[in-house]
Structure 1
Amino acid sequence: MKTPSILWVDDEIDLLKPHILFLEKKNYKVTTAQSGQDALEEIRNTRFDIVFLDENMPGISGLETLQEIKQINASLPVVMITKSEEEYLMDEAIGSKIADYLIKPVNPNQILLSLKKSLENSRLVSERTSASYQQEFRKIAMDMAMVNTFEEWAELYQKLIYWELELEQIEDSGMFEILESQKTEANTQFSKFVDKNYRDWFQNAEGPIMSHTLFKNLIKPELKDSKTLLVVIDNLRYDQWQAIEEVIGIHYKKTKEEPYYSILPTATQYARNAIFSGLTPLEMERQHPNWWKNDTDEGGKNLFEAEFLGAQLKRLGLTLKWDYHKISSLKKGKQLAQNFGSHKDNDLTVVVYNFVDMLSHAKTEMEVIRELAGSDKAYRSLTLSWFKNSPLLEIIQQAQNLGLKLVLTTDHGTINVKQPSKVIGDRETSLNLRYKTGRSLTYEDKEVLAATEPKKIQLPTLNVSSSFIFAKNDMFFAYPNNYNHYVSYYRNTYQHGGVSLEEMIIPFVVLEPK
């Protein structure tokens, strides 16, 4: 490791000789300057790793010198040292993006700590994070062998997300590859768990909260005491929620976060209709045949969400002033943001925002999006960038100003698919890459969760011989015809409809305005 180079600027530099000797013994190279002007000359001619800058010097002041340093090299870390505890000095220094702020008299260990924070932070964090994950790896592996309830799976998945977000901040690809393999194994075990237990969840009051029970069990209780904005961001994974949480946290404080389970198929037509209707797909078909659309039916599959919601509110005995907005374009988002104040008297305002789902589909169809969202890390980053500049954030800001409670959730997640699974079906077979429904389906048993009696998992069928299959892990269905082209086109795209932690375990969050 190269010797770090320090420029120390102080008009009384001779008094700091003990500090400089201390740092030199710690393998730091220290250059000194006695004025701001001398410091700027040194910086123009020599490459330094960090600057210690006295605020109170004759000639140009420390703050003036700081401004000049930032113009010469904006990325050079500067630690401001001052005798004064005046708040305005701190504000100006921090506003100028200093690395640290120290009050005289400083001792050598303070200086050393500041150096480590500024120069060795990433290395120390990387080493500590890697060591911590190595310890946690064994515990996660043991937990994975023992986990046997839907609560434990939600907890394990959140733990994996935590380490994914931690490891993406450090430069240790080896650790990240280990985590990826652990996620793959987790999904394998999770698919077995769902295969064994999913049918019982519809019969058992001890099952998880799912799409069709979400409104009654989690949303309805939040509507009692305050006017509420309900935001459903289509296709938002748990890690994407955590990516945007900090931005929302500027305006709202979180009071509840609870993972819940999407029904199968983990697709908008099924899961989101189930949220708004409070019914399973089979119940929707039976009770509202004019609103429910099967996979092979013509027309849009989510055209009656407002009607489903109205029927559910009536069934639950909720007499509310409410309205519903589906945002599927920038223009519609801007219109709602501009007019949001007109909804201030509503008890419930529902906003369905489709951008993240559109983003995942665009990755399949557009090469530039494939490049921008080439990994889960990049996909999270793209989601965050969109959210920071979206009309949805403007809507949330206005909701805060109006004192509205914010309830945020999604209908299902998505997974980056990598492995093809061959399937054969007739021309009536549905087109989704992560689930299929139809007659006489031929498939690889070990690669799918099969429902040969769909009604037992509350799914409608077109005829008595129809069945459903759901892709496991990161599989996607491919037909034998033109197989290689099909696989090449869809590999490494984001799809949903199947069985995975990413698709099924999704966030429900309640927030109060700050």
Structure 2
Amino acid sequence: MNQINILWVDDEIESLKSQIMFLEAKGYKVSALTNGYDALDFLRENTVDVVLLDESMPGITGLETVARIKEIDQQIPIVMITKNEEENVMDEAIGSQISDYLIKPVNPNQVLLSLKKIIDNKRLVAEKTTTAYQQEFRSLFMALNDNPDHNQWMDIYKKLVYWEMEMGKSNSPEMLEILQSQKQEANSEFVKFIGRHYADWMTPKTKDAPIMSHTLFREKVLPYLDPNIPNFFILIDNLRYDQWKAIQPIFMESFRIVEEDTFYSILPTSTQYARNAIFAGQLPVDIEARFPEQWRNDDEDGGKNLFEDLFFAQQLKHLKKDIRFSYTKITNHNDGQHMVNNIHNMLEYPLNLIVYNFVDMLSHARTEMEVLKELAGDEVSYRSITASWFEHSPLHQALKKLADKKINLIIATDHGSVRVKNAVKVIGDKQTTTNLRYKHGRNLNYEPKEVLAFRDPREAGLPRPNVNSSYIFAKGDNYLCYPNNFNYFANYYRNTFQHGGVSMEEMIVPVIRMVSK
């Protein structure tokens, strides 16, 4: 590790010689000055890693020195050291974006701990994270090989997401590679699990089925609606569990999380099927039978999600629940601003449904726009861009307006997405659908081991557009391409985020219940 340069500024610096010698014995290089003016001159000419700064000095005070240091270098960490314990001084110092605050008299170990928090924090966290994951690796391996049920699969996926996000704090490409390999193995086993159980879950009499898209409202929303306050059910489309974890801290500024859970998206993990199932409370095969005029198959003209409010009204009627509700769909920024301006009017309704379409637009746009390919090239950047979007979104603005109101808030999604890496060939006729993660058609030709296939769509709770239609779903990180221009499309879509198929990222998705603080 390179030697760390410390600047210690105190008008009584002579009395701190023993402290300086202690730090130098620990390997730090310490430069000592007695006033703010000299410190500013020094910083203009020298590179410093941390400034230790006395608050009360002749000439310019410590707080005034902080402001001028920030003009020279906005990022330099500053530790304020003071005899003054008054709260307003602390508030002003913290408001000046200092890194730490110590009260005199300070002992050498206090200063050392502060320096370690600031300088060595990332290294220490990285070392601890790597060691902890090495210990967890075996228990995750054993869990994967212990025939997990649908609840245990949710736990496995949450743990993998946790470690993936923790690894982002470390600088260990080797350990991250091991984690990605374990995640890939988990997805392979998950695909087999879905293949064995999915058709059974579609049977109404099956008791051992997870909460899925078509049972989400009945099981995870309706029981928690508070009749005495406004309830908001917000569906952020295409939101993976790790993306939720990225935006969770922003929600926690205004809301208290009561329950954080996951459920299973139905197949195909796409807006048309999974979201319609949420609002209708039915599987797609039943929606088509009940609403033949409104349901549109992939190969039919017309919007696929134009009747969510109608489907939801019918679900309430079926459940014998007389609940007055509002329905708002956001598909562009203007829609979002209109919602912000109108959010207080929603407080008049017992239940407010808000569908926010941003994340799905991001994932689709990512395949079309080179700038987004640069911005969202992997899971880390995908989470980062999601957090940045949400923090500055109309949705966040609207929720901040509700933060001081007594409300009940439930956040969910329709499906997630997976970064695809391996193109596989599929041959079909002109009626075959174009989605990269699932296809249905009459004469599909494919390698059976590369897809999950349902020759009878009704086994998967899906409509049958034609007599001989079958459905296939891409497994893990595969994506489906036709032989025509295969290499071009394989390269074009590789490493993009897609949905519609079978993976933990697409199927195990968040549902969170919150209340205002």
Q: TM-score range by the shorter chain?
A: over 0.9
Partner of 1:156: 156
| Alpha-carbon distance in structure 2 between the residues aligned to 1:147 and 1:382 | 36
Partner of 1:33: 33
- Conservation of the 8 A alpha-carbon contact between 2:5 and 2:50: yes
Structural mapping, 1:254-269, within 5 Å: 254-269=257-272
- Conservation of the 8 A alpha-carbon contact between 2:226 and 2:408: no
Partner of 2:15: 15
| Alpha-carbon distance in structure 2 between the residues aligned to 1:400 and 1:13 | 48
How far apart are residue 213 of structure 1 and its match? 0.5
Structural mapping, 1:412-431, within 5 Å: 412-431=415-434
Aligned length: 514
- Conservation of the 8 A alpha-carbon contact between 2:410 and 2:514: yes
Q: 1:382-418 deviations in whole A, cap 9, x for unaligned?
A: 1111111111112212233332211110000011111
How far apart are residue 147 of structure 1 and its match? 4.0
- Secondary structure at the aligned position of 2:145 is classed as helix
Partner of 1:134: 134
- Conservation of the 8 A alpha-carbon contact between 1:147 and 1:153: no
Residue ranges of structure 1 left out of the alignment (5+ in a row): none
The answer to whether the aligner puts 1:465 opposite 2:442 as a matched pair is no
Question: Higher mean Cα deviation, 240-249 or 224-233?
Answer: 224-233
Partner of 2:116: 116
Partner of 2:211: 209
Kindly provide the amino acid, as one letter, of the partner of residue 275 in structure 2: R
Structural mapping, 1:24-63, within 5 Å: 24-63=24-63
Partner of 1:438: 441
| Alpha-carbon distance in structure 2 between the residues aligned to 1:72 and 1:485 | 50
- Output the TM-score relative to the length of structure 2: 0.97
Question: Higher mean Cα deviation, 209-218 or 69-78?
Answer: 69-78
Q: 1:175-230 deviations in whole A, cap 9, x for unaligned?
A: 21221111111110000000001111123122100000111111111224332111
Structural mapping, 1:483-498, within 5 Å: 483-498=486-501
Kindly provide the amino acid, as one letter, of the partner of residue 344 in structure 2: G
Over the residues paired in the alignment, what is the CA RMSD in angstroms?
A: 1.2
Identity of aligned residues (%): 52
The answer to whether the aligner puts 1:479 opposite 2:482 as a matched pair is yes
Kindly provide the amino acid, as one letter, of the partner of residue 114 in structure 1: S
How far apart are residue 7 of structure 1 and its match? 1.5
Partner of 2:458: 455
Kindly provide the amino acid, as one letter, of the partner of residue 221 in structure 2: I
- Conservation of the 8 A alpha-carbon contact between 2:125 and 2:169: no
How far apart are residue 44 of structure 1 and its match? 2.4
Kindly provide the amino acid, as one letter, of the partner of residue 211 in structure 2: I
- Output the TM-score relative to the length of structure 1: 0.98
| Alpha-carbon distance in structure 1 between the residues aligned to 2:280 and 2:440 | 22
- Conservation of the 8 A alpha-carbon contact between 1:229 and 1:399: no
| Alpha-carbon distance in structure 2 between the residues aligned to 1:398 and 1:108 | 47
Partner of 1:70: 70
| Alpha-carbon distance in structure 2 between the residues aligned to 1:383 and 1:215 | 25
Kindly provide the amino acid, as one letter, of the partner of residue 71 in structure 2: Q
| Alpha-carbon distance in structure 2 between the residues aligned to 1:332 and 1:127 | 46
Q: 1:265-308 deviations in whole A, cap 9, x for unaligned?
A: 11111100000000111111111211211121111111111100
Residue ranges of structure 2 left out of the alignment (5+ in a row): none
Q: 1:9-48 deviations in whole A, cap 9, x for unaligned?
A: 1121121121112112111122211222222222223222
| Alpha-carbon distance in structure 1 between the residues aligned to 2:209 and 2:199 | 10
| Alpha-carbon distance in structure 1 between the residues aligned to 2:81 and 2:326 | 57
Structural mapping, 1:86-235, within 5 Å: 86-203=86-203, 204-225=206-227, 226-235=229-238
The answer to whether the aligner puts 1:382 opposite 2:385 as a matched pair is yes
Ranges of 4+ aligned residues in structure 1 off by more than 3 Å: none
Kindly provide the amino acid, as one letter, of the partner of residue 334 in structure 2: K
